[in-house]
Amino acid sequence: MVENQPSVNDAATETYSKKMNMIQALNSGLDVMLGKDEDVLIFGEDVGYFGGVFRVTEGLQNKYGLKRCFDAPLTEGGIIGSAIGMGAYGLRPVPEIQFADYILPAYDQLVSEAARLRYRSNGEFWAPITVRTPYGGGIFGGQTHSQSPEAIFAHVTGLKTVIPSNPYDAKGLLIASIESNDPVVFLEPKRLYNGPFYGRPDEELKTWANSGDDSAEVPLGHYEVPLGQAAILRPGREATVLAYGTMVHVAKAGIEDSGVDAELIDLRSIVPLDIDTIVRSVKKTGRCIILHEASRYGGFGGELSALVQERCFDHLRAPIARVCGYDMPYPHAFEWDYFPGPIRLARALKTAVEYR
């Protein structure tokens, strides 16, 4: 059961669909938008001829030409700064930052320029840019290829922060982001590019095609998943679990292991945040567990915890709990010790329901 999920027939202008992994779904979304709007263009490090380090842009330069999909120098600040200028003059650029870990040299451009342009110009200019970037761990990328910086961008007024957890949402959210008139940081969980991951590294990995997950069925045409609309992936009455990205699948496994009748909410975007869906769920269950891969201290889970406490205090039957990465750099050799897995979530759920 998935609530708050747009109907494929309602959302898609072309109802034919096929099974896709997340890479293919993102590629399809870019293809649709390049074909639909001549103002859309793609650029970044190795995104042209090479098709991107994860092949998300593969074939697009050949199809749309060098002016619509092209390589950029190794300068993240220059990539984002150029995109802001293009956006201010009517284009809809979709720049790629090769890894989210590399985005910090462009932080000033995102915060001081992209996020502020509409305010600064009194609405005369804006920056309709969608910054795509892979994030998160689970692939043994070490401390410089595994970070989860979503809280940094969620803190910036004027930026939207979007994080898909499956192929269907990835394409629909990407299209909605590109068509938005606001700057969007679109974080792609690279652990999920080829298949779902439940946080059990000893299990045989599944591709999206053989996972049995309905979200691998992706319409070929144009459709949107609205920004700021969470999805209830699993109804429940004993606890609410909030997650996004890779942690959505870890949450499924943790809930199964715990035996707790927990409701699972995939946030999809953290800015804008679907606080109404969260509040309704927590008021029903009386318990809230927040799951994210980023370090605990200063993570977005702290903001979620505060929002839930402010709105649901009289309904809480147990303290709000956070299951997160540890406050340390992402360790290469001890990746699975750092990674918030289903065992830790199951323990937190049992503690919450047993609280008296």
Give Cα separations from 219 to 11, 42, 70, 248, 259 (angstroms): 9, 22, 26, 22, 34
What whole-number distance in Å separates Cα of residue 279 and Cα of residue 232?
A: 12
Sequence-ordered list of residues with C-beta below 8 angstroms from that of 238, at least 6 positions apart, any chain: 260, 261, 262, 285, 287, 353
What whole-number distance in Å separates Cα of residue 215 and Cα of residue 170?
A: 10
What whole-number distance in Å separates Cα of residue 308 and Cα of residue 320?
A: 8
Please state whether the peptide bond connecting residue 329 to the residue before it is cis, i.e. omega within 30 degrees of 0: no
- The owner of tokens 């809480």 is 316
145, 222, 249, 292: the catalytic one is 145
- Residue positions counted in the chain: 356
What whole-number distance in Å separates Cα of residue 95 and Cα of residue 105?
A: 14
Instruction: Write the burial class of residue 137 (CB in 10 Å: 0-12 exposed, 13-18 middle, 19+ buried).
Output: buried
Q: Is residue 125 within 8 Å of residue 233, measured between CB atoms?
A: no
Q: Is residue 117 within 8 Å of residue 84, measured between CB atoms?
A: yes
Instruction: Write the burial class of residue 58 (CB in 10 Å: 0-12 exposed, 13-18 middle, 19+ buried).
Output: middle
**Is 145 an active-site residue?**
yes
Measured on CA atoms in the order 47, 11, 6, 217, is the torsion positive or negative? Answer: negative
Q: Which residues are catalytic?
A: 145
